[in-house]
A and B are shown apart, each in its own frame.
Chain A
């Protein structure tokens, strides 16, 4: 078994009286695809926001590569290689797809802001590298053909992939994908699953929140299940599929469409 990349320890987030995430602990292993599942409102997105420091925990810790990152500011956590994507399609609407990904290379800058202002050789070198790398990422994610389209004009199916491309541009060590397959048909999902596998092949550990159960069972090395903010199960896809508590949690909610 590979080494531990991140430890989540007794993480809790309260919104007023509601504990959206309640005393959750688990480890993330280096190089795995770990999915977080659970019914709507279970606290999955909140957990992601806690890990990426977009929200601050009420109690508990997030330890990444031996360092506590719980109360750092989000851009510092990103600098350490923990990159989140957003559940809602979040992109720079007024930029082209390529420009979205070029900006997202921010952390790879060798030039300073002043350097960029004066257009030093380092700054020009950065710009050229970012464009090249952005084009490569877009090609890889199947967006090569639309890279010069304004993001707000992109067909919906491409927006999720663009969100992932922005995340990839930051060279994550740990990538948090919040419902990347939402709104995709089965062909698109199959393609996207291959994409996420490919991302892992590049040495990126992937944390995935997803409601598409067949996709989750297909792609995940391990799964953590949340319900009402609490962790109710953790294990391999096979273990989760036969777990009583999990079946109970999903069957207990009539509105759920999941096929376990």
Chain B
């Protein structure tokens, strides 16, 4: 695809996402909610995708989402912070946590890293249950207020969610997070940082042989990944207005992986494509709900066997060979 065709496609998608869908679904809060959740799942999965990008499989993203969710909930309910500060607080808390645990964890490779991150989600759930004085234990934190207004001077930048259609408000907040999140990711992947991350994925020893501080770079990627989860988690609990130890489970952690697999690991857009296609199609097929784990597992196996580069590698009439974003190549015909 040429650059101008790509831009045109992006513009159409954005128009549908920001105008057509929200206006068309204005009277169907359930569907608005489904797309809002798909947006935030994309953001959380984008973090997992970035860790794939440096050559690790992160099975602990649910832990960061849960930490983000609880941080926001506690800052709002116990400390009386406005939602917007709590959202930032959630991001900061997960980044700090990811740096602390990332340094030792990221020395592990392959299945060892995956196993230990898998146990993180369970650890986070147990921690949420075990400190009732802070987290309210198994009961969770309930009745969180809706996000308030953001005013700069006399000008209302964001209205109080309680005074407007909250489903539409959350829809747009989710959309902003998705757009900002993926702009950040796109920029990372297409700048020198992306080259460094790809060099880690392909050979860490070779990268350190020419002076790359590999441990530091890995932690940077992990911190970005955690920030995506923390902010996504805080947003999610705001839409639910509550958080429980089981708000993000091991099942969620593995679902994020599946979204990335399905969408494709080669392209930044993979995490969005996977999250939207899989999450929305499941919500549409309500009757299949109880078979979800089974079907997800089958899809996972199927994708690995027949579509190792994900949905985005499917041959579209207009697409040429999928390429991992080489800046030089994107400018050609």
Proximity bits, B176-203, A CB within 8 Å = 1, else 0 = 0000000000011001110110110011
Proximity bits, B315-331, A CB within 8 Å = 1, else 0 = 00000000010100000
Q: Give the residues from 222 to 238 in chain A that come closer than 8 angstroms, CB to CB, to chain B.
A: none
Bound-state Cα–Cα, A85 to B205, Å: 10
> Which chain A residue has the least Cβ–Cβ distance from B326?
A99
Does B213 belong to the interface (CB within 8 Å)?
Answer: yes
> Which chain A residue has the least Cβ–Cβ distance from B184?
A117
Bound-state Cα–Cα, A84 to B198, Å: 20
Q: Give the residues from 67 to 126 in chain A that come closer than 8 angstroms, CB to CB, to chain B.
A: 73-75, 78-79, 83-86, 90-96, 99, 102-107, 109, 111, 113, 116-119, 123, 126
The answer to whether A54 touches B205 (Cβ under 8 A) is: yes
Does A57 belong to the interface (CB within 8 Å)?
Answer: no
Q: How far is the CB of B99 from chain A (nearest CB, A)?
A: 15
The answer to whether B213 touches A113 (Cβ under 8 A) is: no
Q: How far is the CB of B30 from chain A (nearest CB, A)?
A: 38
The answer to whether B203 touches A83 (Cβ under 8 A) is: no
Bound-state Cα–Cα, A53 to B208, Å: 10
Given the known interface contacts A93-B202, A117-B187, A117-B188, the answer about A102 and B195 at a Cβ–Cβ threshold of 8 Å is yes
Given the known interface contacts A75-B211, A116-B191, the answer about A90 and B203 at a Cβ–Cβ threshold of 8 Å is yes
Given the known interface contacts A90-B203, A92-B203, the answer about A103 and B196 at a Cβ–Cβ threshold of 8 Å is yes
Binds B, one of A21-29, A163-171, A210-218: A163-171
The answer to whether B209 touches A116 (Cβ under 8 A) is: no
The answer to whether B203 touches A116 (Cβ under 8 A) is: no
Across the interface, B209 reaches (CB within 8 A) one of A74, A96, A113, A127, namely A74
Bound-state Cα–Cα, A113 to B193, Å: 7
Interface residues on B, range: 20 to 34
Does B306 belong to the interface (CB within 8 Å)?
Answer: no
Interface size on A, residues (CB 8 A): 39
Does B214 belong to the interface (CB within 8 Å)?
Answer: yes
Residues of B contacting A107 in the complex (Cβ-Cβ under 8 angstroms)? 210-211
Bound-state Cα–Cα, A73 to B211, Å: 10
The answer to whether B193 touches A117 (Cβ under 8 A) is: yes
Across the interface, A113 reaches (CB within 8 A) one of B199, B215, B220, B324, namely B220
Q: How far is the CB of B176 from chain A (nearest CB, A)?
A: 20
The answer to whether A103 touches B209 (Cβ under 8 A) is: no
> Which chain B residue has the least Cβ–Cβ distance from A84?
B209
The answer to whether A75 touches B208 (Cβ under 8 A) is: yes
The answer to whether A78 touches B210 (Cβ under 8 A) is: yes
Q: How far is the CB of B205 from chain A (nearest CB, A)?
A: 7
Residues of A contacting B212 in the complex (Cβ-Cβ under 8 angstroms)? 75, 106
The answer to whether B205 touches A127 (Cβ under 8 A) is: no
Bound-state Cα–Cα, A105 to B192, Å: 11
Does A52 belong to the interface (CB within 8 Å)?
Answer: yes
The answer to whether A79 touches B211 (Cβ under 8 A) is: yes
The answer to whether A86 touches B206 (Cβ under 8 A) is: yes
Bound-state Cα–Cα, A84 to B139, Å: 57
The answer to whether B324 touches A94 (Cβ under 8 A) is: yes
Bound-state Cα–Cα, A118 to B214, Å: 21
Q: How far is the CB of B189 from chain A (nearest CB, A)?
A: 11
Residues of A contacting B211 in the complex (Cβ-Cβ under 8 angstroms)? 75, 78-79, 106-107, 170
The answer to whether B208 touches A103 (Cβ under 8 A) is: no
Residues of A contacting B215 in the complex (Cβ-Cβ under 8 angstroms)? 73
Bound-state Cα–Cα, A104 to B203, Å: 12
The answer to whether A94 touches B198 (Cβ under 8 A) is: yes
Given the known interface contacts A113-B193, A117-B188, the answer about A103 and B205 at a Cβ–Cβ threshold of 8 Å is no
Bound-state Cα–Cα, A96 to B198, Å: 12
Bound-state Cα–Cα, A109 to B213, Å: 13
Across the interface, A95 reaches (CB within 8 A) one of B188, B202, B209, B213, namely B202
The answer to whether A106 touches B324 (Cβ under 8 A) is: no
> Which chain B residue has the least Cβ–Cβ distance from A127?
B192
Residues of B contacting A102 in the complex (Cβ-Cβ under 8 angstroms)? 195
Bound-state Cα–Cα, A102 to B213, Å: 17
Query: Would you mind naming 17 contact pairs between A and B with Cβ atoms under 8 Å apart?
Result: A52-B209, A54-B208, A84-B209, A90-B203, A91-B206, A95-B202, A103-B195, A106-B207, A107-B210, A109-B192, A111-B192, A117-B193, A127-B192, A167-B210, A169-B210, A170-B209, A170-B211
A residues whose Cβ falls under 8 Å from a Cβ of B? 52, 54, 73-75, 78-79, 83-86, 90-96, 99, 102-107, 109, 111, 113, 116-119, 123, 126-127, 166-167, 169-170
Pairs of residues from A and B, 7 with the lowest C-beta to C-beta distance, nearest first: A78-B211, A170-B210, A116-B192, A107-B211, A92-B202, A104-B210, A74-B208
B residues whose Cβ falls under 8 Å from a Cβ of A? 187-188, 191-193, 195-196, 198-199, 202-203, 205-215, 220, 324, 326
